[in-house]
Chain A
Amino acid sequence: MEAPEAVRANPFVPYLATVKEITDLTPDVKLFSIELNDEAARKSFDYKPGQFAFLSAFGVGESAFGLTSVAYRNSGIEFAIRRVGTVSSALHELEPGATVGVRGPYGNFFPMDEYKGKNIVIIGGGIGMAPLRPVIDTIIDHRDDFGNLTIINGARTPRDLVFASEFEAWSEAKDTNVVLTVDAGDDSWTGRVALIPAVVKELKPSHHNAVAITCGPPIMIRFTLAALKELGFSNEQIVTTLEGKMKCGMGKCGRCNVGEKYVCVDGPVFNFAQISKFIEQF
């Protein structure tokens, strides 16, 4: 059914959508594959790596989540969601077939075109991998457009590594190195046990013709930033996505500002040259 004009004109009204598939990624992260009900909406819903959308669990509320999929594959919208608040918990309770609401996309995005020809270092901690996955997919799907790809993915324990089922495919791609690390291993873990910043220092990715994209908890970002700068990366070469309390995505609710910038409109993607100029330092 076509949505009436008044409905579509209201930017707070989400598209109705159906949960197609829910996959456990870790004990507290699920991957939701969602399809918009309206065919025209499906076609027009275009987005880029780094952008986010609001997902509604009707009756509980809506929250902003990074889009975890890439639009050009046309295979539905995906979100990797950790159970942390009321909305994410309600979403975790859903079964395939459930009706949800989607509005978006919002925010800026990773300038993938500018990264062409460069060596890319992706550094993700925990659920921080969620907004980085579309970056990885874009590079792997257009492998010859980019230089070497290094993926450093860390988590508290082996069970907390998100997208584990995709590591193999990633590492089989040309000139791609996937490095996994955990804070604490378990009996079957034979890989690295180290904090992400230590792994960065050990691997020593070169800053020449490179860009580092990192996302994760604030403390991890702080030390990863320091490690990258030690290796010669400039502020411009280090990119991250910021989180904020978001209620609108349109620069209206006033919840996500950092100084005069709104994370929802001016971000969420910023490089550290931009961040270091923010009047408020979080």
Chain B
Amino acid sequence: MALFLPALVVLIVTTSAPLVYLAWTSLERIDLSMPWLSGFAGAGNYLQMGADPRFWHSLWLTLIYTVSTVVLQVLLGLGLALLVLRIPKGQGILRVAAILPIVLAPVVVGLFWRTLVLAPDVGLVDVVTRALGLPSYNWLGDPKLALLSVIAIHTWQWTPFAFLVMLASLSSLPPDVFEAARIDRASAWQRFRYITLPLIRPAIVIVVIMRTMIALSAFAAIFAATGGGPGTATEILNLYAYRTSFSELNLGYGAALAMVLLAITLAVSFVMFRARRAR
């Protein structure tokens, strides 16, 4: 026990303590722009959210962002893995290349896209679209396009992860089972639908769970690319909490928003793990 005590203390100080402090803060009114109003608020911060359209907007964006990035990662990752499996040589190189985006820090990815890929005039996408005679868009500055852009950035960075997991799962499938299915008159689509998909289902489920939890709490790449803007166009809940606490200095309300995100993340992962075990 004495041996574990230091480790336990470090663990509590680094994980539980900040959480408890966050929970406590969420019950207080701490607005550094109006410090004279500070004091215990009880559930006040939480009740305030019900009538806060910016909160509901950020929740809605979180949902869109999470569902679309996870779906895109699974579809693209699976599609790429199926394609790569068919090429006889060079799979090793592609596997290594796929790791590159994953190991980059999200903030670097966000900046890289903002300055080199999506920037007007000099960005890669703009150069290509103008070369093709298409109109030029302000991908991160236009409120209508900014959400698409941050979804694309997240998908670009994390599809390789889904791809690698799917590729590993697909290449471990028994080839004789597919030969049996060919003899049993299953078409290519039927083999995919009735053999491949059920057999790689565990891999898909794991990717969905892991990527959902990450997407719900995404922050750095969006922060670097748009900072949540323009306006609140890309302000998912995590960014709203951050901006409330550290731009608007309303620490109590920001803490409450962060607590809600934490609760959602825990609830979603709980449900998903339950569903996974049920099968």
To the question of whether A and B form a pair in one complex, the answer is: no
